[in-house]
Chains A and B, each alone.
Chain A
Amino acid sequence: MGRQLTISCFRYNPNIPGDKPRMQDYKLEEYEGMTLFVALNEIREKLDPTLMFDFVCRAAICGSCAMLINGRPRLACKTMTRTLPSRFTVMPLPVFKLIGDLSVDTGTWFRNLQIRTESWIHTNKKFDFNALEVRMENKTAEAIYEPERCIECGCCVAACVTANIREDFLGATGINRVARFILDPRDERSNAEYFEVVGNEDGAFGCVGIMACADLCPMEIPLQENLAFVRRKMAAAGLKLQFPGVKIS
């Protein structure tokens, strides 16, 4: 016999007239290797077919299932119930628009981020179907892959003091995204052009340095280092704009 779990879930469906936000308890028996993916599906299939939540890959690679688990933003699919007390809470991520219960609209938020930061390769070269690829050092490819690993789950945004009070803040994920393109030699944007995008209070300078993002990133992306990298680039670009001719090491 496993433990008896009590999962206290946030419930509210804004599409049902008169529905009110509340917490609802569900009891179920734990078993070996149980994840929150298994537990929440069991609730839906056996106890309450109306419970809304999002899972896609259930392998911690697609970023769909981030939620507040006992107050901390985490991916539900890889959270083992044995790491939690027998009674715990699950709530939707803050910052993102609520769709219902544990389901939030990260898709729209991240789409806007891509567009605001123009997160695509900017180049004047034309693609030639008959040409070989441009050579690149393998270590450069590996360096780009590091920030590219972000799965846009939103944990860093939900955990961010600034993002919780400033609607337009790009968050660690946004700064990480820009770092990815700065690192990429195929992108021809200058530092001054990146400065336009992230050299302000909504970007690299809006962070107040609590670094909860770096602690909570499920992909363990070095968000602190990436912030330092982008800030240094932007500081240099800012100085250059303000004091042309000053030499920056």
Chain B
Amino acid sequence: MSAKHTHISDVLVIGAGLAAERSAIEAAEAGLSVIILSLVPPRRSHSTAAQGGMQASLGNAAMAKGDNPQIHFEDTVKGSDWGCDQEVAKMFTETVPSMIRQLDYWGVPWNRVTAGKKKLPSGLEVEDTKDREGLITARDFGGVAKWRCCYTSDGTGHTVQFVVDTVVCKLGIPVHDRMEAISLIHDGETCFGAVARDLRTGDLNVYLAKSTVIATGGAGRIYAASTNAVINEGTGGAIALSTGVVPLGNMEAVQFHPTGMPPVYILMTEGARGDGGYLLDKNLHRFMPDYEPKKKELASRDVVSRRMVQHIRAGYGVDSKFSTQQHLWLDIRHLGRQWVWTNLREIATIATNFNGLDPAKDLVPVIPTQHYTMGGVRTNKDGFAYGLKGLFAIGEAACWDLHGFNRLGGNSLAETVTAGYIVGKQLAKYTLGATQTFNYKLIEDFVKKEEERIKNLISGKNGRENVWEIRAAMQTAMMDHVHIFRTGPALEQGVAKLQELYRRSLKIGLRSSGQGANPELAQALRMPGMLRTALCVAYGALMRTESRGSHFREDYPKRDDTNWLKRTLAYWKEGADLPTLDYEPVACPYMPPGDRGYGEATAGPKK
């Protein structure tokens, strides 16, 4: 066996979600030839699952008056707990309003301002004025000073991805779906493309390009319970890490969303609380104001998730048929049937489908659930990956570092298209000026290496470990040791367990023949990479002896700006069973570290 097909293009985009497609559009419009690879057809990407909306300071809604990019910037930095790259956050917040309007021009049916007086669930009366009628409206979200989250009902990711994909269709950009990049081709200095496995046939293909973009989304599936789609296994980051020269940044920064719905852990949008929903405990008491008197249910996600677990630990969790663990309730009944089934229709449908509940009259069980990977392939502010020339990363797969240690709700969907545009422009500029020569021997060696891995998995040459057992054990270890509340001893145990599993993952042998597009083989090929990723999370968390944003150490409960105003860079050296950690300083040129205005440091333990 050797590579079935070789494809050459100027730009290779790995992934077909929103960041991927938006960058592909930018490159194609610059006249470059682009090929998009994806595990699934673009419109099945996990971007389509984003519900609540996209943050942009349009300032059209009554509660958005006076908003501007500077306020959005400040909210983002506070949300990140001063972990983000402030240059990136500046660029992002200034660009995102025109991105929203461009999406509108392309066809996104954004909900609009309707003029008139309105009474909010909080009792507050507001008036949307006639002069703003028909412009794009916004809803409230966590950790923000203004209503800024632009939306189409609660299916925003769906509409935005479908519309961006129409532009990809119109431009005729080829998408090779069911094609998985399984390694990057490189010589330690330059990236030349990727070896990919065809998930229709099992054949290996070679993709060569001047520029390669990793836009494969998050790695939520290293946890047993995640809101992420089943394809979010961090494959793009893992193949970058495997090069030994490209680092993953801040992998210990993992977001847990306050409202995953057990037992399936599907997301209930933050828009539910943004629109006025409450969190209730077993006594049907609205407890968030007790902890966070100012922001209540709309503190940042890291804070709300911790407060929820704290409240459950204090004995107020709900036992119910919906979950084997204690949970809390999401209450949106007071928003009214019309509102729920128009503006929160997707989550209402999900609650009906999976738990037989109608949120217009029923409480919905919720529990904080792994949701977002703030870390990823570390890049500079133009999206160039550290370590290899010609390699770029964007979206959730990247650590561009818009989010630092906690991402604000609505900033990820906004990041996808904004980074797609900004990085897309930079990568187009780079590619137009680049030449590429391909060393055939080098390419063949990479193909041979993958063939060898496949052959050994099928023959069981290295061992007979079961891939599904190892995956389940990894997911459990991450739940038990690397979750919302972290401690040194628990993390140490977690790292040891993951190391053991990593060594076992190198001895996987298939139980099936591995022929064709065999799903066991696909999983087995990913498994060592997933464990390396998991180890970057666990080991990074162990070594970071402070609490910042979503990374909370019970043994180091305070943010430590003296020692930890820095970003973790995790490298994987060949033959290692633990990442090598390095650190770089986080600059705060516009906003020095200060008070977030919510959270334990501000509000204290409980009022």
Contacts and interface: CB of A to CB of B under 8 A. Distances in A.
Interface string B248-283: 000000000000000110110000000000000000
Nearest to A48: B512
B169 A120 contact: yes
B229 A145 contact: no
A149 B109 CA distance: 11
Interface stretch (A21-29, A104-112, A203-211, A238-246): A104-112
Nearest to B112: A138
B37 to A, nearest CB: 13
B265 to A, nearest CB: 9
B114 interface: yes
A132 B135 contact: yes
A49 B512 contact: yes
B71 to A, nearest CB: 19
Interface stretch (A59-67, A156-164, A189-197, A229-237): A59-67
B321 interface: yes
Given A127-B102, A142-B342, A145-B159, A49 B520 contact: yes
B202 A149 contact: no
Contact of B112 (A127, A135, A152, A184): A135
Interface in B105-140: 105-107, 109-114, 133-137
A163 B521 CA distance: 35
Given A60-B353, A132-B135, A138-B113, A120 B515 contact: no
Interface in A147-206: 148-149, 151-152, 184, 186-187
A52 B107 contact: no
Contact of A121 (B107, B111, B165, B321): B107
Contacts of B166: 114, 119-121
B158 to A, nearest CB: 7
Contacts of A45: 468
B167 interface: yes
B169 A114 contact: yes
A149 B229 CA distance: 19
Contact of A59 (B49, B110, B153): B49
A110 B111 contact: no
A238 to B, nearest CB: 26
B350 interface: yes
Contacts of A152: 41, 43
Contacts of B158: 61, 148-149, 151
Interface string B504-530: 000000111101111110000000000
B175 A49 contact: no
For A32, A136, A137, A140, the residue with the greatest tally of chain B CB atoms inside 10 Å of its CB is A136
B169 A135 contact: no
A57 interface: yes
Nearest to A114: B169
A32 B155 CA distance: 29
A58 B111 contact: no
A63 B43 contact: yes
B136 A133 contact: yes
Nearest to A60: B353
Contacts of A13: 515-517
A16 B512 CA distance: 13
Interface of A: 13, 15-16, 32-33, 35, 44-46, 48-52, 54-64, 78, 99-100, 105-108, 110-111, 114-115, 118-121, 123, 125, 127, 129-138, 140-142, 144-145, 148-149, 151-152, 184, 186-187
Given A107-B41, A129-B98, 17 more contacts: A15-B202, A15-B516, A35-B264, A49-B519, A49-B520, A52-B519, A62-B48, A100-B516, A111-B169, A120-B107, A127-B101, A133-B100, A138-B114, A141-B109, A142-B153, A145-B109, A151-B48
30 contacts: A13-B517, A44-B519, A44-B520, A46-B468, A48-B512, A49-B510, A49-B519, A50-B518, A50-B520, A57-B44, A57-B46, A60-B349, A61-B158, A61-B346, A64-B40, A78-B353, A100-B517, A107-B41, A118-B170, A119-B169, A121-B166, A129-B102, A131-B101, A133-B105, A133-B136, A137-B134, A141-B109, A141-B152, A142-B111, A149-B158
4 cross-chain pairs, A with B, having the tightest CB-CB distances, nearest first: A135-B134, A107-B41, A15-B516, A49-B520
